[in-house]
């Protein structure tokens, strides 16, 4: 190999090493900034969107698993927890898997999983006592002012939002049910009978 080729190879090698050092330094700094931001977010109570407690829900329509239209007035006739989830949400899969294993344990508080009316969302398996409802054009999400999944709302029998949260486990859903009057746990869950439009 001639001297010019050796010099070019050495220069290229130095450029690659310098680039790697700069890139690693940038990544270390970026990780530090992201970790700091994450720790600040965990300790804060940033708004996550959604109807605030005391809000009376406007009317909306969804479809049940058979494709039948269901009006919100029939859903809010009794106390209920509304869980917004989607197939492309990884935390939702973890939460729904927990529901598949345990089912819904409240007799007098219904649990409605609001999903998008898509092939992917209709393929999601739900546990015993969980009623799947499918929204088109985010109509239910607009009524709840929901901007994220998973997001859950406790709604009383007057259609008023009592509490809301971003559930990380089934325990968060249980707390929402307990926030509703008469939210007592029972051993057996039962399917919710829904009103048709």
Give mean pLDDT in consecutive 10-residue pieces for the chain, a chain of 197 residues: 86 93 86 67 55 91 92 89 91 88 87 92 87 91 90 93 90 91 42 39
Tell me, yes or no, whether 196 lies in a domain: no
Do 161 and 94 reside in the same domain of the chain? yes
Residue 41 confidence (pLDDT): 53
| 69 and 32 inside one domain | no
End-to-end Cα, the chain, rounded Å: 83
In a domain, 184, yes or no: no
Give the strand order in the sheet containing 151-155.
69-71, 61-63, 130-135, 110-116, 80-84, 151-155, 161-165
12 assigned to some structural domain: yes
Residue 169 lies in a domain: yes
On whether residue 197 sits in a domain, the answer given is no
Q: Are residues 88 and 122 in the same domain?
A: yes
Q: Is the peptide bond before 80 cis (omega within 30 degrees of 0)?
A: no
Structure tokens that stand for 90 in this block: 């990884």
Kindly report the CATH number assigned to the domain that includes residue 80. 3.40.30.10
State residue 123's pLDDT score: 87
Q: What is the pLDDT of residue 33?
A: 74
CA distance 133 to 60: 12
Residues 65 and 42 in one domain: no
pLDDT at position 28 is 80
Q: What is the pLDDT, as a whole number, of residue 182?
A: 53
Same domain, 41 and 72: no
Provide the total of helices (H) and of strands (E) in the chain, helices listed first: 6, 7
Residue 194 lies in a domain: no
Shared domain for 3 and 93, answered yes or no, is no
Do 125 and 157 belong to one domain? yes
Q: Is 42 left (phi over 0), alpha (psi -120 to 50) or beta?
A: alpha
Cα–Cα distance measured from residue 144 to residue 176, given in angstroms and rounded to the nearest whole number: 15
Cα 39 to Cα 29, 32, 55, 64, distances in angstroms:
16, 11, 31, 40
Angle at 109 between CA 108 and CA 110, to 5 degrees: 115
Same domain, 105 and 160: yes
Bridge partners, residue 132, by sequence = 113
pTM value is 0.68
pLDDT at 186: 38
Distance CA 179, CA 71 (A): 24
Kindly state whether residues 42 and 108 are assigned to the same domain. Answer: no
Domain count, the chain: 2
**Domain encompassing residue 7:** 1-46
Q: How far apart are CA 1 and CA 196, in angstroms?
A: 83
107, 171: one domain:
yes
Q: 34 with 78, same domain?
A: no
């Amino acid at each position: 190999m001639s001297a010019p080729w050796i010099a070019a190879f050495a220069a290229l090698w130095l450029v690659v090493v310098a680039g790697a050092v700069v890139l690693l330094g940038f990544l270390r700094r970026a990780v530090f900034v992201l970790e700091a931001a994450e720790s600040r977010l965990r300790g804060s109570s940033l708004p996550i969107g959604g109807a605030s407690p005391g809000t009376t829900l406007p009317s909306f329509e969804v479809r049940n698993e058979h494709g039948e239209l269901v009006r919100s007035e029939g859903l809010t006739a009794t106390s209920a927890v509304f869980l917004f989830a989607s197939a492309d949400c990884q935390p939702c899969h973890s939460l729904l898997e927990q529901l598949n294993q345990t089912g819904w344990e409240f007799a007098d508080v219904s649990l409605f999983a609001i999903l998008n009316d898509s092939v992917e969302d209709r393929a999601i398996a739900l546990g015993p006592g969980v009623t799947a409802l499918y929204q088109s054009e985010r109509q239910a999400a607009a009524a709840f002012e929901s901007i994220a999944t998973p997001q859950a709302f406790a709604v009383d029998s007057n259609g008023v939002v009592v509490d809301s949260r971003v559930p990380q486990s089934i325990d968060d859903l249980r707390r929402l049910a307990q926030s509703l009057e008469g939210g007592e746990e029972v051993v057996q869950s039962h399917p919710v009978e829904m009103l048709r439009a």
